[in-house]
Amino acid sequence: MVLPLRFGLVQPNLDYLEDFVMDVSHPESPNYGKHWSATKIAQTFRPAKESIETVHLWLVESGIDRASVRLSQGGGWLKANVTVEQAERLLQTEYHVYQSDEEGGGQHIACYEKYHLPEHVARHVDIVTPTLHFDTKPRTSVPQKIDMDKRDRPVNARSLGQPELGVSIPKTAATIETIYKGIEKCDEQIVPDCLRALYNFAYTPVATEKNSIAIIEYNSQAYLPNDLDLFFANFSPSQVGQRPVLDSIDGGYLQTKEQDESVNGESDLDLQYAMSLNDALSPPAFVIVASFNNLLDALDGSYCTFEGGDDPEYDAMYPDPSGNGYEGPEDCGTVTPAYVMSTSYYFDEAQFTPAYEQRQCAEYAKLGLMGTTVLYVSGDNGVSGGNFQCLDSERQSSNNGTIFNPSFPSTCPYVTSVGATQINPGASVYEPESACEQVIYSGGGFSNVFAMPSYQKTAVEHYLSNYPPPYSSAIYNTSGTSRAYPDISANGANYLVAIDGNFTLTYGTSCSSPVLAAFFSAINDARLGVGKGPIGFINPTIYSSAFVEAFNDITNGSNPGCNTSGFSAEPGWDPVTGVGTPNFPKLLDLWLALP
């Protein structure tokens, strides 16, 4: 059996990453809005020649055929095809076949608990795959040693970071026969006019040809054109017949063979609201891709591990060796990032190793440096993780766990994490919202991997000092120095969505993210119209003192889970709704005033 070892080389200047991002993103910086080019990104973070040569020489001197060692086109990875025996000797470890905990998870080849690199090599490498880095945590209690005479590729190998195998939302309720088009029943049905009234959203585009927004979906997810038209006919008649622009990555396509709520619900929701709220803007890009990793590959060539894919064991591999899939080369740095990208999928932070998450998180920082706003949902289960699981004493997701289970990528400090609110039963759009407690609970909490970024330090310390959560360090990360989320919220309850020919009520942070994407895209349009750049990474701005009055503070509700009441929504930032919900006119004026 050939094992494709990949060595992720240490990228220089990552110690300065937060400084770089803050320099172009903080409203008080003289360089605000002076975003970097892709070329500058590549030059700044390309691994040093010394790193490439050191790892390459070590592999060759260790007996690996020089011809089998290749450098990725972006210069970030070295690849060597080796036997299992060679890999075990190189890394001083043992490889096993593991069974995934998740239903249908299949088997994975990885090493047991740890691996080792010589000291002179280790300082040039920050990740090796396949080793400990799974798409999900494996069962570790019964490792099965690889039979050296039976080394077939593990069955059902799955994409690392493939959202459909993690947690996908939204949640839906019964089909609705009577629909309300105005704002009188927004506590029962959210429609576009409800959101316009809630957040004072009204905007006429002026620079559509310069602007861009992308709705990110994953393989097998697809909208139905008839669903869009059914929704538009009722809420945005001028858009009947309008379609998003398909932006295919690695052969992604709009499949129509499978049609049901689980396949069409997310895409229908995202597009119906992102498009109808900005009916005069150019249609969004509808991006179809296999996994988080494959998306980042397409956006940044230096992230690609090698020409054929990230890792054949865990990621989509192109050309597809099965003969039934995409036969072209992988998209590697071939896609220009949109100014706003919305993703309604997430994983538990505990499903990945810290090294994997940190390397991926650095990619989101690079997108921010280039002027892209990256939105990820915070989750729908309060302080619990996917399937309402919490962490056990080994920090793995479990039905019997009691420790809060944060979500990823929300815990990455370079994405904007989006929580959910609701209109209280019987209330109007002119009354304060609460944290969402209908069907779903807004995800929120504190990372077990990432440190607190400087931009949120004051806000989070205010919460912890004035409203200290009544839990010990045995329940959540009480250090006061970890990344806290969400950052911002929008309504996430009772959305009326046309799915498979019927109107259905839909719930989730999955509702909130495309709405905020539409708002931020409108602000970008206004800035582009006066010769300014996009707003880019928004977190340093929305946490700044100048923007405090541009949000509706949410002070009611909580996000229960893990047999607790979770955290509470309080004045100021909180780990339920972030800084609150947007007041669009105030945000627009403030961002237009920035350079």
Residue 270 annotated as catalytic:
yes
* 480 belongs to an annotated ligand binding site: no
CB atoms within 10 A of CB 39: 8
In the set 302, 384, 442, 510, the catalytic residue is 510
Q: Burial level of 238, CB count in 10 A (0-12/13-18/19+)?
A: exposed
Largest Cα–Cα distance in the chain? 74
DSSP letters spanning 374-412: EEEE--SBTTS-GGG-EE-TTS-EETT--B---EETTTS
Tokens for 527?
Answer: 């800035």
Instruction: Name the 3-class secondary structure at 115.
Output: coil
* pLDDT of the chain, 595 residues: tens digit per residue: 778 899 999 999 999 999 999 999 999 999 999 999 999 999 999 999 999 999 999 999 999 999 989 998 778 999 999 998 999 999 999 888 776 555 545 566 777 668 899 999 999 999 998 887 544 433 222 233 333 332 232 222 222 233 444 455 577 766 788 999 999 999 999 999 999 999 999 999 998 899 999 999 876 788 999 999 999 999 999 999 999 998 877 766 676 666 778 888 999 999 999 999 998 888 888 776 656 777 887 787 777 754 433 444 444 544 444 444 444 566 787 778 999 999 999 999 998 889 889 999 999 999 999 999 999 999 999 999 999 999 999 999 999 999 999 999 999 999 999 999 999 999 999 999 999 999 999 999 999 999 999 999 999 999 999 999 999 999 999 999 999 999 999 999 999 999 999 999 999 999 999 999 999 999 999 999 999 999 999 999 999 999 999 999 999 999 999 999 999 999 999 999 999 999 999 999 999 999 9
Task: State the pLDDT at residue 207.
Answer: 87
Is the backbone peptide bond immediately before 486 cis, with ω within 30 degrees of 0? yes
DSSP 506: E
472-476: which pairs have CB atoms within 8 A and are 24 or more residues apart?
A: 474/402, 474/403, 475/402, 475/403, 475/404, 475/562, 475/564, 476/383, 476/403, 476/404, 476/445, 476/446
Contact yes or no for 172/499 (Cβ under 8 A) = yes
Q: What are the chain's domains?
A: 2-163 (no CATH), 171-301+329-593 (3.40.50.200)
CB atoms within 10 A of CB 121: 18
* 574 belongs to an annotated ligand binding site: yes
In the set 164, 217, 250, 266, the catalytic residue is 266
CB atoms within 10 A of CB 61: 8
d(CA 440, CA 384): 11
- Helix (H), strand (E) counts: the chain: 14, 27
Contact yes or no for 272/231 (Cβ under 8 A) = yes
Classify 406 in phi/psi space as left (phi over 0), alpha (psi -120 to 50) or beta: beta
Residue 149 annotated as catalytic:
no
Contact yes or no for 62/87 (Cβ under 8 A) = no
pTM over 0.85: yes
Tokens for 237?
Answer: 């008649």
Amino acid residing at 394: E
Tokens for 565?
Answer: 């009441």
Contact yes or no for 554/569 (Cβ under 8 A) = yes
Amino acid residing at 555: T
d(CA 208, CA 522): 9
DSSP letters spanning 431-482: S--EE--SSSB---EEEEEEEPPGGGHHHHHHHHHHS--S--TTTS--SS-E
In the set 135, 250, 268, 270, the catalytic residue is 270
CA distances from 350 to 126, 168, 353, 392, 484 (A): 19, 17, 7, 11, 16
Task: State the pLDDT at residue 291.
Answer: 65
φ, ψ at 254 (rounded to 5°): -85, 95
* 553 belongs to an annotated ligand binding site: yes
d(CA 298, CA 310): 11
* 176 belongs to an annotated ligand binding site: no
CB atoms within 10 A of CB 1: 16
